[in-house]
Structure 1
């Protein structure tokens, strides 16, 4: 019988510790000898005691024996007993336990019934004992199997966890290897691309080397050819140097001839003034007499040789000022027209230009009603358009070189005492040479630095630097639209075009000009828009198209004027009327000997002398008192009259 649980075993153990074992050991007399074991070791034995004398003692023994075996089978402390230590003692115990009663029953004094009952009880006890032993054996075997199974389960669980850890390690290794493989693949692709690029570069370099070798051969051939041509080039160089010297000599001669021509033009007008005369005429260039100023220089009003004149002083240290001086002397000394400002003289010493004085200022000031001047009527505006068209037609048809003004704007259109317009400021005008392909066509003047006033400049001239007669046509178109509307030039074409398309032209007309006849205003609006076309090719021709519109409008405006107005002549071959400049205000006849009086107007010498000799001391034009009675010959106007008469005789 188990003495105690395996966990309580020790080598010093001498007595059972289990309550069941202690109870059985201290029980009353029993014929059984009991061996108490723990963890396969014999702890102690209980010897056989005096047998029971009655049946009740045997019953008590059966119950106790059965209870002891039952308790032994239920005791958890006996599970650990080894198989070798349990089987042999139990068999010995069984023999000793069940041998005594049989011997005692064979003794005399027991009857047959008692013996049968005892034998049956012993047999039942033996069967019960066998069953208990078998059950105990099965239980111990099951417990051993369970313990083995638990140990295997623990081992399997450990193995499972180990496998899981190995699997995780393998998976991490696989991921790392996959990443390394991917990196290796990318590196291989990069190396492949680099190798491919290197092969392409190699092919390109080989091709370049082939080309360079070919070019080298060509260069050697060209070098050989160049060596052959070197002597010829040296000979050509000497020849070119000779030609250059000859060209320089020719240029100097041409420059001298040009200066002589300018001097001749000045001498022809008899208008060479000294710097002292200009200084005296302007009272040492008094600021009070300054009537204009710009980037070119200043304009003063002065009295020169008893004549009121306008004196323009250009900047002498500026190349632009020198260029403008020479340009104006060359152009105005060559061309004459009633609607061009007359150049009276010049002063090369002070870079001064002397013009006829126009008392009504510029068209720009009159449109803005500067200094409270009255607005221009629509008849006067129509006449100004007519006169500018006449002046431009004359300049563009000039022989042998057509003239393009290049800076046409209201500020450069001046008005005399009769509001007759005259075009001035020829500082940036250009002379065009005639093309050899056609007598009507002219070559273009090209420049990389277009000059002028932006709002009036030809857009194609701004973009290409090509200046043609139709560049002046664009500027004239903008001026026509300004005279119609009185507006500023910026985007004026868009405003008028929009009004014409909507049928609201009357809303943009300048009301200060009076009641414009709708037909005339509409014709001028369409003409201005055509002239102001962005494309040069779409602009009308002055002589053939613009003139045919402007001339009838001018005649109609003259008929509706409140007082007679004298329109300027166009100087065209088919125009036979006498220009108003040529008519004496007193005799109303063409002048033969024009003289300028103190009021600034030009009269026939005989007429003005008769006026003064009759006792008058006032102006026949303004009825204001004259400052003096001196008269100055207007030789410039006389030259123009003679030239005009000569053209019409032809």
Structure 2
């Protein structure tokens, strides 16, 4: 083809005579339209998709600025491979469309720049006899369309080999058909030049006979033709396929004019011969078509017979394989039977030995049966006594449990009444009550002072409270102040200081009073405060972590923003509770800043100082500094650097607080590394309290049982019996007297969990998840275990 070397590629073509080729392009919609027409018109025939692919010349060297040396070879290969993948993806779409119609499909393709020449090349190389292709783009379709619009279709119609029958379609309709006869006429017209005014003679050889067809042109009437047909030979042996040899002879116009009179005389005879010849030709075509149909049916029957033979061969082969497999299995079974026979003989010998031993054992059993009867009689007597003793014990234990419950009920009746009164009627406090409780703000009643206000101790309604007087910045209205304070009062946790009431008039808050001061006093040993043992320090770290996780999980999330040792208070049993939680919400945003206080700013996240808003990561940073202070009791300034240097030198013991006792070095190092991670300057590098900090320090809770009586001496060697962790109420942090199981699966002190639920909470105090129900079940088994443990203690 014009010196180009092209290679036709095909898959799945086996029978060219029974295969209809369908030429498709890159437009899948139009290609499927042509395929649909072919599938409907040639039902039962094999379909082969014919496609001519134009390669993508992305790296053409026509541009003088681009030279082949500058292009990388792997880029060219990558583009070529991408082009091939797109080609195969397009062909696979057409094959999938054919397979969905239940027809076996195949494909043939060629890569060449000229599409129409590629189609002609495939027709000639593959000897294609049946071809369907588009006549025009679907946008050109109309009911009056009867001619070929596409230049490719016109080119193929004119230049395709005469043995190829072509159907041209558009939008699912047949537009034009090119058979072998009109292909011959089209070829003759293309071969005759405009200057030729003579005739064309066509000779068609059919086996033993032939026919002569003379087409003459009258020079006096341009475009008019005189046809002369001479039929010779016998057409009875016309085959299904004719081989046409066309001989074209051109004559000059002058001899035809001389013979014009002769032809006019014989026109009537020639017309009758021509009609007779055309009728014979039509009959021959019909007979040829019938013969081809018979041949196609015979070929289909032959193919069906071949398929049946293949199926029979496969079945016989499968039966042979099954027979061979059965023989192998039979041989294996024989071997197994032989092995079983050998084992059977061995078992018989062992059975004889066992029977001999059986006789000996039977005699021993007879002797032991007499002794067993005697023991049974004694056991029955002992069981009767045990049953009577257990009955008496259960009755006494029930009486004892009822008595203890009554005692506990009367013991806490007064306290419950006071608490209930406090919850229901003590929330709103008048300013006169504040003045009376603080003795007109007597300096002797002041127990603390800071930028967020002064703290006084006092008694309101017979309850000892700590009153925090907030600075009056005037940014919040009374209603906003009261709403935010009420929201804070509903956030309750065993390790958060309980908000007892508020006074909107004086912007004051009343908290529960904790008599053991704050954590800073014990770490610095101020005002005769005794140093804390390392057991209590680790437990305090666990409690602070638990409280922070709880408030961070609150919806909406509330950060503390001012967490430091002075805001960690201790109750009578040295249980830690965080104070000033949410106070920053009740103060003007313009004045809500402790960062100008040098001592307070050490505990504040540097990011929070620069950017302002309180975040969860800010509390993580403050927690890390407090954890370092619990370990070392050193001043907060420079503590991060000191601990980091000690860890790098492997001498952490040099910075640990010796007044806390003998620290377990493994746990101390673990806490030190955790604290340094919390103090990272980048908030993204700090650990998550719930998923990282809590799993690290929570297992240390077991070693944090009270080690000594802090009221006497922190270094006392007098040890106490360890309290089982499951005996301690998660809320009161004390041994339970009336344990109840809640819907979250945890066991709490009855009064504690009831107070939690009655205060409006519907979430678990331990997991902060919503409870399925508010039902409580007494845990009698745990109650008896606690009573027995207390008796043993």
TM-score bin, normalised by smaller chain: 0.3 to 0.5
TM (normalized to structure 1)? 0.45
TM (normalized to structure 2)? 0.37
Greater RCO, CA 8 A, separation 6+: 1
Greater share of helix residues, 1 or 2? 1
